[in-house]
Structure formats: C-alpha cells, structure tokens
C-alpha cells in the first residue's frame, strides 16, 4: 500500500553535561545529574517510530528493549540499584564494567538506547545519524580514550539486550498465518472503513512476555455474547456507543481527540487516499514519563528507571490485550451499527484495524499508571503536553490514574469501543501493572523522595 504522510523533522538538541566526581568506573568528565540527553534520545527514537509507522504493539517492544538497555548501563553508577537480569523473563546479566578503565555512563547509556532503537526500527540510516549526533554531544567533555570506551560499552550492552530480544518470538510470529476474515460469521471482526486494512498483529500474543508467565495470564471476563435482539446486553452496548456519539459535549470530543493516538489515520478525498502519522498510545505514555521525570527533577538513572519500568508495563499490557483481541474477535461498533441500525453512522475517531475486545488504550494506560504511581506517588499532578506537536492543547491531571481513566473512556467517546471493552481492559491493565510493581525491583525508594 502506498503511504503518504507529513514529514516530521527530527531535531538534535544541543546540550552539555556538567562535571562531577563519580565512582572509579565512571569518568569524572560527565554527570548523571542532567537527564536531558536520555530524554532527547527517547524522543528521537519515538519520532522514528512515528515516521516508520509502527503499530502500537510493535512500538511498545522497541521502547521496552531500548529502555532496559539504557537502565542496565546506567545502574552501574549507583550500587543501590538492582539489575533487571533474573527479574525479566530470559534476561541474563549484562557484561560487567572494567573497574580499571573509566567510562562515561551517561554516554554509554544513551548510546545503548540509540543502538537498540536503531536495530528495532526501519529507518536505520536516519537512526545512524541521530545516534552519532547524540554521541557527539559528549565528545568535548571526554578524552578520546574514555569516549571510545564508553561507546564500546554501550555497544556491548546493546548487543546483549538485542540477543535477548532475538529470542522473544518476534520473527517467528509472521509464519503463524494471517487473520481469517469470515464475513458469514456474525459478530466476528471484519475490516473497517475507510482503508479496510488487514488485521494488525494477529499473532502478537505468542511473543515472550517481560514479566507475565504468558500473554494469557490475565484473561478478562468474556465479552457479551453476540446478539442482535434489542434486549440483549450486546445490542444495548452498541446502542450506547451510537447514542454517546450523537450527543458528545465539546469536552468529550476534546478528550477523544487527545487520546486518539492512532499511528496511521487514513484520509479519503475522491479517489485519493493519504495518511497522517501520530504517536501510538505507548508513545504518549513514554512522553508522559519524560514530562514527570523532568518535573520531579529526576537524574539520568532515576529517569532510566522510570522509562524501563513503564515500558515493561506497556509491552506486557499490549501482549495481554492483544491475546484477548484475537481470542474473542469481537466486531467493532462501527460495523455493528452500520449493519443493524444506521448504515451512514461514523465514529468520531477512525476505527483501528484489529478486533474490539478489549480496549488496548484502556489496558496499557492503566498498567502505566500503576507503575508510575508506585514511582512518583498517587497524587503526582502533571500537565500533559505530549500532543502539542499534533496541534492539541495541554491537558492537566491530578494523578496518573486520572489520566489513565480519561484515556480509557476516550475510546467510548470516540465510538471505537463498547463500554465493557473499556472496563475489562482497565482490569487487565491494572493486573499487569501490579505484577510489574510486585515482581520487578529496581530501587527501594520512590523517585519523588529524591527530588531537589
């Protein structure tokens, strides 16, 4: 399929790191106090993910492996931080540092993030340029020997993480077959307007989870049985979507637009079809991590901790939800309403190309909120400006759960999910987030306790 999209400029932001003394394995020429280089690296990789049009599950995989690589490098700067090896499924300890050969951990950590990001995205020439640009930000603060050793150690950890990633089933999933569209099976998902795209990632649930035992560990309650009788639960939930769509307030429209997070929105003008690109739901939450880490004045290691833990929750959240989507194969509201009630009805948001139950955004947003609440506190208020680059205003939240709840209900306002899918998606996400909190230990104190 030919894809047209507006070009997104990828900017390298100049910046310097300040000097302070570190442990013997860390160069005295750089500091982990300033997390700006890591935040910039996360944004650059996210921009490439948007440019490459990654599906939401695929994007979550990139965030997780890249964030883990950065954390595993940077944790060497503080012995009170624990490795994720032995805590995440299949991850073994990364190669140790040479205590006699100082390195810059900030450079090595950011470099590892960029190297893993490059390996897991498509635009590798673009990523080469961005990675080299990030490296150069450190060069004038370091001797050539420390610079080269730091890059080399970042490469070493990146290779270790990529070898681990290579065994997660990602490559094998493509040989498991496509989704079977059965138009004579009422209630089963079929492609939706305007592009009628194939089902996205029908075998995603076969990948190795990061923390869960399997992607089926947190099966939600089953969806309502398909039924076109007007008194049935299934029909009533369809009517609710239609009626909510007819009577949306301006605030509800704003909420739906803010949390749309559709990475590939198709537009049809006559015989011409083109698309606009946006960040995925996972990308939105990685952006929130950046915002709140900055607000908490978290240093580079604390920021890396937040990115890694959140990304793990996002990735396992997608695995859990995607496994259910292709287990239940529920028809979308748009198809249901067009077939049985009003053939001219359209949802506020464009229906994404995969089954309805459960809601992915509800699941991953709740999972992320659970982890971020554990890190930053249950009353951490923040202003979310992640969507400003797409022309949407800032929205403010009193807590992470308030943001996640709004993200979840936005799917009903947008006309792309039934209420049950929203609520059960939240249940799945909460269980995933709680599992990450209980099984993954990085540091005994919350990030907010260390703010200056």
What is the pLDDT confidence band of residue 31, given thresholds at 50, 70 and 90?
confident
339-353 average pLDDT score: 96
Of 264, 262, 242, 246, the closest CA to residue 333 belongs to: 242
- Residue 433: pLDDT above 70? yes
Q: Is residue 341 part of a domain?
A: yes
Q: What is the CATH number of the domain that holds 397?
A: 1.10.606.20
Cis peptide before 194 (omega within 30 of 0): yes
Q: Is residue 325 part of a domain?
A: yes
285-314 average pLDDT score: 98
Q: Are residues 154 and 256 in the same domain?
A: no
The tokens describing 199, both together, are: 């089902």
State residue 272's pLDDT score.
73
State residue 99's pLDDT score.
87
- Residue 435: pLDDT above 90? yes
DSSP for 294-322?
HHTT--HHHHHHHHHHHHHHHHHHHHHHH
Q: Are residues 229 and 98 in the same domain?
A: no
Contact criterion met (CB below 8 Å) for 359 and 417: yes
Of 134, 122, 123, the closest CA to residue 41 belongs to: 134
Give buried/exposed letters for 104-113 (b at 16+ CB in 10 A, else e): bbbbbbbbbb
Q: Are residues 129 and 247 in the same domain?
A: no
Number of domains present in the structure of the chain: 2
Of 440, 282, 306, the closest CA to residue 377 belongs to: 306
Q: Is residue 347 part of a domain?
A: yes
State residue 27's pLDDT score.
47
Contact criterion met (CB below 8 Å) for 257 and 284: no
The tokens describing 427, both together, are: 């249940």
pTM of the model: 0.92
What is the pLDDT confidence band of residue 18, given thresholds at 50, 70 and 90?
very low
Cis peptide before 358 (omega within 30 of 0): yes
Q: Is residue 5 part of a domain?
A: no
Q: Are residues 284 and 416 in the same domain?
A: yes
Q: Cα–Cα distance between 306 and 322 in angstroms, integer?
A: 24
Q: Are residues 421 and 299 in the same domain?
A: yes
Q: Cα–Cα distance between 310 and 352 in angstroms, integer?
A: 24
The tokens describing 391, both together, are: 């022309």
Phi-psi region of 86 (alpha: psi -120 to 50; beta: other; left: phi over 0): left
Q: Is residue 29 part of a domain?
A: no
Q: How far is CA 444 from CA 42, 80, 311, 383, in A?
A: 25, 8, 19, 27
State residue 277's pLDDT score.
87
Q: Are residues 70 and 145 in the same domain?
A: yes
Sole residue written with tokens 């921009």 = 47
State residue 267's pLDDT score.
73
Report DSSP state, residue 184.
T
State residue 400's pLDDT score.
98
State residue 271's pLDDT score.
67
What is the pLDDT confidence band of residue 3, given thresholds at 50, 70 and 90?
very low
225-231 average pLDDT score: 98
- Residue 36: pLDDT above 70? yes
Q: Cα–Cα distance between 374 and 122 in angstroms, integer?
A: 34
State residue 32's pLDDT score.
85
Q: Is residue 86 part of a domain?
A: yes
What percentage of the chain exceeds 70 in pLDDT? 92
Q: Is residue 337 part of a domain?
A: yes
Give buried/exposed letters for 375-389 (b at 16+ CB in 10 A, else e): bbbeebebebebbee
Picking from 165, 183, 205, the residue at the C-terminal end of a domain is 165
Q: Are residues 428 and 300 in the same domain?
A: yes
Picking from 165, 185, 207, the residue at the C-terminal end of a domain is 165
Q: Are residues 227 and 135 in the same domain?
A: no
Q: Is residue 185 part of a domain?
A: no
What is the pLDDT confidence band of residue 122, given thresholds at 50, 70 and 90?
very high
Could you report the per-residue pLDDT of 372-426, keeping only the tens digit for each?
Answer: 999 999 999 999 999 999 999 999 999 999 999 999 999 999 999 999 999 999 9
Q: Which domain holds residue 75?
A: 36-165
- Residue 338: pLDDT above 50? yes
């Amino acid at each position: 399929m030919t894809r047209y999209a507006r070009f997104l400029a990828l900017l390298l932001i100049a910046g310097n790191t300040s000097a302070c003394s570190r442990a013997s394995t860390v160069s005295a020429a750089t500091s982990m106090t300033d997390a700006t280089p890591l935040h910039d690296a996360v944004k650059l990789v996210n921009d490439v993910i948007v440019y490459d049009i990654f599906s939401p599950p695929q994007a979550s995989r990139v965030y997780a492996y890249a964030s883990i690589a950065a954390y595993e490098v940077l944790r060497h700067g503080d012995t009170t931080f624990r490795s994720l090896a032995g805590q995440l499924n299949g991850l073994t300890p990364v190669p140790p540092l040479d205590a006699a050969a100082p390195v810059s951990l900030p450079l090595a950590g950011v470099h590892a993030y960029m190297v893993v990001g490059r390996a897991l995205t498509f635009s590798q020439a673009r990523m080469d340029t961005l990675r080299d640009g990030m490296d150069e930000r450190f060069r004038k603060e370091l001797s050539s020997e420390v610079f080269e050793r730091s890059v080399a150690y970042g490469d070493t950890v990146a290779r270790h993480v990529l070898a681990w990633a290579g065994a997660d089933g990602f490559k094998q999933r493509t040989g498991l077959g496509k989704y079977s569209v059965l138009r004579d099976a009422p209630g089963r998902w079929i492609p939706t307007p305007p592009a009628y795209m194939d089902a996205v990632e029908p075998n995603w649930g076969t990948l190795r989870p990061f923390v869960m035992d399997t992607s089926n560990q947190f099966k939600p309650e089953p969806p309502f049985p398909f039924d076109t009788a007007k008194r049935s639960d299934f029909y009533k939930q369809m009517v609710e979507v239609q009626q909510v769509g007819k009577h949306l307030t301006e605030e509800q429209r704003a909420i739906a637009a803010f949390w749309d997070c559709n990475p590939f929105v198709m537009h049809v003008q006559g015989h011409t079809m083109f698309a606009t690109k946006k960040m995925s739901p996972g990308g939105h939450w990685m952006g929130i991590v950046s915002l709140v880490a900055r607000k908490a004045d978290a240093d580079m290691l604390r920021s890396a901790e937040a990115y890694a833990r959140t990304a793990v929750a996002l990735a396992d959240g997608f695995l859990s939800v995607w496994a259910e989507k292709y287990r239940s194969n529920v028809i979308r509201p748009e198809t249901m309403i067009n077939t049985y009630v009003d053939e001219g009805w359209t949802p506020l948001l464009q229906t994404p190309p995969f089954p309805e139950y459960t809601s992915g955004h509800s699941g991953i947003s709740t999972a992320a909120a659970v982890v971020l609440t554990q890190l930053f506190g249950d009353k951490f208020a923040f202003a979310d400006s992640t969507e400003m680059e797409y022309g949407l205003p800032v929205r403010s939240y009193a807590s992470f759960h308030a943001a996640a709840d709004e993200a979840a209900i936005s799917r009903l306002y947008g006309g792309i999910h039934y209420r049950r899918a929203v609520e059960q998606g939240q249940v799945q996400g909460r269980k995933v987030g709680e599992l990450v909190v209980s099984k993954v230990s990085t540091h005994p104190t919350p990030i907010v306790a260390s703010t200056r």
